[in-house]
Structures are given as structure tokens and as C-alpha cells.
Structure 1
Amino acid sequence: MNADGEGLGGSASAPVSTPAPVSAPHVVAVLIRDGVLPMELGLVHQLLGTARSAEGDLLYSVRTCAPRPGMIRTSADFPVFAEHGLDVVAAADTVIVPASHESDEELAPGGLDGELAGALATPRRVASICTGSFVLAAAGLLDGRRATTHWMSADHMARMFPQVTVDPDVLYVDEGEVLTSAGEAAGIDLCLHMIREDHGAVVAAEVARRTVIPPHREGGQAQYIQRPLVDAGLTSTGRSRAHAVKCLADPLTLAELAGVESMSVRTFSRRFREETGLTPMQWLTQRRVDRARELLESTDHTVDRIATETGFGTGTSLRQHFVTGVGVSPGAYRRTFRGTGTPNNRPLVE
């Protein structure tokens, strides 16, 4: 994300804001409707519901809500029980709307129940997973904003809601108080992104480790790349990515990464982009920025030392890439998530 808020690869992210001291868990209302996708409901509870502070305190209180409390049909062969209603939605800090393929694409501008639309207008942050974005659009929350949804529904959403700038080529879009994500797995990326923005990269990485999922995919990464089926014996570029993560401090070259897979640079670059939606160097820069975020939060290393440990080489290079990727300087980021001093009260050096 640059200084104006544009994310890498086309995602839009809000500037990092200073998190308030944790006195009570941040209340997250998951608004479900008949036909809800169980995976999308579950992933919010699994990720946000397990995030903890360094002291072990739960950071979020996740509550399942419905327009009318009670049994709610799912897209599977079992129902779920929603204990809470729209009063909890209206009072929540964050509301997340999972998809319901049963009704989402039938929504039109102004077509949302007035009570439901009113409840969604109150919380300070609202997000959607997959076609849950149709609910936000019908409530008018996406008017004049950029948003995404599942790639198979993007054209329909653009036709139904012309006042929304629909981007079908990203995993999620962060417009500050309103966020949207693509298909089910992109909901995982969105939840980790919100945890990271609320409480920092270290907390988000711990949630990812506990859940055994990748800690970070940029919102601008392509959600779907249309191409012919790959031969079953096609060599993956996964070994090169594992090698790069182990050797971030080294001056890695495209030729070296291609050599890990025993491919030509041309073939490697093509297959890498097919598998990740990014060029090898774009992906490598993102991993280095991710590691820099963790070190800024968890150590009192100088920026020059962090630049060396993350492969940027110089503090100037790190600052440039960090501002482009995160939207603030390393020093501002550190002050946001660490305060003005380290645990041993030594000053932080940028």
C-alpha cells in the first residue's frame, strides 16, 4: 500500500491505525442468513475467535447473529443455531457477512430489509466474505467504493450495482470501515488481514501457525487465474518459495530461485505466476516486508539491522519498500504496535 492507500497488486488498504489497549474483547457479529456456507461461518470463529494477546487474553468475542434468532438453514445438510439478533449486530465493533448463495444474487439496490440495513449501518467496521458483498451493496455501504466478490459473481454484481467499482481480480479490498473478500478461502486472508491491522503481524502469524495456514497473502493477489489444466507431472515452484523464506537475508536472484526447481528462468517465472498470481520478485518483496513487520513488532533492532536480516540491504531500501507495501514508515509502524519504548526501556531506533 502506498502513502495514498493503494495496496500492492491493486488492493486498497487503510492506513495503519493505533490499536487501543485491550480492556475488553472486540465484539464481532457474524451475520448469517438461510443458506449460509458453514465454512465461512466457521472460519471467522476459528481465526478471530482464537486470536490472543501476548498475555493470553482473547482479543475478539465472536457472536453468531441472524435477522431473527433461531435455527438457520445452511448450504449443507445441517442447520445452525443463531443465538443473537440484530441488536447485537448494531452494537458490534465489527460485523462480518458470510455468503448465502440461496439469496445473495437476488438482492438489488435498496432491496434489503430496512431493519437489517439499519443494523449494518451502525458498526464501525463491516466486512463480507464471498457473495456476502451483495448484502453490503444492497444496504448502500459500497456506493462509491471499490469492492470484490467471488469471481463467478463479479459481472452480475457490477450490473446490479453500477455505483460500486467491482474488482474481480483480487482476494480482498480494504476500504477502511468497509472490507470485502472473494471466495471462501479469501475469507481466511481477510480475517488474518483484520487481525494484523488490529493487533500486528505477530498476533496474526500466531493465529495462522495455530491453524496451519499461510500467514499472509496480499489482497491484490489474483483470486483466480484462468488457464488450461496443468499436467499432473508439472513441477511446482513450492520448493523455491520454501528456499526463499529460509534465505530472506541473502541477495536472492531469479536465476537462483529457478535453479532450485531445475527450470529455466523463463519457465520458472511463467509457472510461478500461474501458481501465485505474482512475479517471483513481487512475491519475495512481500515476504521480506512481512518479516520486517514481525521484527519491528518483536525486537528493538535498528532499521538498518532489520534491512540486513530481511534482504533489503540498506535502511533506505527497506523504508521505500515498507512505505509502498504498508503505507507508513517502519518507525511509525513500530510506534503503532510497540509504543515508544521497548520492554527494556531502551529507545527504538529508526
Structure 2
Amino acid sequence: MKSLSRALPPLTLLEWGVILSYFYFSGRLASFLHPMFRPGVLVTGVLLVLTAVCVALFPEEKCAHEHEHTEETETHGRITPGSVIAFLLLLLPLALAAKVSPDSYGADLIRRRGLVEDIRSLPGINGRLTHPVAPPSVATPTLALPAQAAVLQKSIARTAVTRQNAPTSNDKELEQAAQETMVEPGLPTQESGNEDAPPMPSAGSYDNPALRPNESGNIPVQVTDLLYAAQESSTRKDFEGKRVEIIGQFLSPKKGATKPELKSNSFMLVRLVMVCCAADMMPAAVKVEATKRPANVHEAGWLKVVGQVRYRPRAKGPSPDGIDYGDTPEPVIVAASIAKTPTPTEKYVY
């Protein structure tokens, strides 16, 4: 009994270390934690295992002064009900959680979290958004380069006239040098040429080099990419009318829900967004319009959708779900093909 009592502390540490290491190496940790924090779990598991080994190999030393022992020392090293209860409280919950905890979320849980169709509603997003573009105003006419040079020359001349002292030879030399250098500013010289200038994009090309089509001719995107782009017109043009390829979870309209803008063959494509851990998980969703509903696809099943992106104006005022999106348009994918796809290794978007 005494040896078993000594074994309880290292056994507790060993179990915690083994379970943490198991979650890391089995890949189950990807369902609960951001990749940035996963190495810390592995380090903690290894340290717990090493601590358990040290506690088992180097037990508490016996008291050197046996003559000072009291009657309480007769129970030293024995198993007490309190130690057994503490041992079970530390081990059983963790073991059961490791065994029965789900690695994915169902459609009901996703709906209870609330579908996010505006990127500003996701946690930790406000700091990453760029400053909104100011509304277009009346454009100020821009002078041609030679005209700009003439204006600058007149300004230099007026400054020279208003000076109290007469211009010196140095002033004349400076003015003459300014005139020579400001005749046609910015124009390429014969020596420099324009071979390093980037080519002007054609009307049908992709303006953003990061959004190049893959071998199938589709631009791989995430749900969050389309929601981000909806915030500014300069980014919407990168996706508007383009053929994209996107992976997400199928979610049909909830029965009885009032969503008049959702057509009969449309559905929501959802991707879970994680900032830190599963506790802050939020489902980002984008609407998909199809000619017919995908067959034999269960709720929260994984799909690969290929289609064109359209940004459409939303109805004024609060939507049926009570959210006022303002002037932010709604991204919609007009599907050309829908197919089942295996569950990705990383189920979340970070």
C-alpha cells in the first residue's frame, strides 16, 4: 500500500503528459487549438512525462530524525480516501474527455453560434481591416507633366522677385538648374529606358497577382476572402465575375426560417473561423446559388463548389436575422459544379 501511495502522483503526471502528447501526434489537437499554440501543448506533455519519471525514480526521502516523529507519522505513506478521490478526480475526467470528445461540430451547434455574413462580426477582425475607403468625391483635374513644370517655374520666379536682395550669381545658377531639371520631370531618358516598368494589365487579366487561377482555371479562395473583399470596392473587383473554387460545409436553410432572399435551390457554405481555440469559433458563411440542391449530402458535410462570384446589394434595413449590414454588398457564388470532398486536415480558417 505504501508503494502504491507513492505511485499515485507520478501516475497522475504521466497520464496528463501522455494524453497531451497523444492529442498532438494524433492530429486531434487541430480540432481544438490554433496552430500557433500547439507546440506549447507538446512541450507541456513532454515535461509532464519527464516530471513523472523523476518523481518515480527519486521519491521523497525518509525523515532523518525518527525520534521526532509523532503519532501522525504512522499514517505517512498509506493510501487515504482523500488521496484516492483526488487521484480519480484528476485522472477520470481527462481520460473520459479524451475518449468521448467530438472532433467536429454538427449543424445544430453551428446554427446556434449564428452564421456570420459580415467579416466585421468575426472575433479579432477589426484590427486587421484596412481603413475604409473615403466616398468618391469630385475629381480634381490633374495637370500634365509639362504644365506642372511650368507652374513650378512660375512659383520659383515669383519667389525670386519678392526677395529683398537682388539675386546673386548663385541664385541665377540655381534657378537655371531648376528650369533644366523641371522641363519634363519623370519622363524616361534614352539611357534608362522603360524595360523595368511593369506591363499594364489587360482588361481580362487578374489584377491581384496573389489570385492566380490553378490548373483547372479556378481561383482557390476561402469564405473569409469573399467577406473581406465585400468591404471595399477596390478588393471586390478582384473577385467580381471571376471563377473561384471554394471548400466548405453544407448548411441548408433552417425549416421555418424567414430568409426570402434565399432561393429554393440555394444553400449556405460555411467555414469555421478560429482565433485562439474552439471556444471562440465562429461560422463564416457565403450564399451559393445552384440549379439544384446537391444530392446525398448531409448537414455540415464537406463540398467543393466552383462558380462565379457576384456581389449583390442587400435589402435596406435589418435582415431577417436582425442584422443591419448597411451598404456592404453580399457575396454570392453562382455555382457551376458542386461535388463532395474529403474533410480537410485543417477544418478551421485562421
TM-score by length of 1: 0.22
TM-score by length of 2: 0.22
Which structure has the larger Rg over C-alpha atoms?
Answer: 2
Hey, which of these two has a bigger chunk of strand by percent? 2
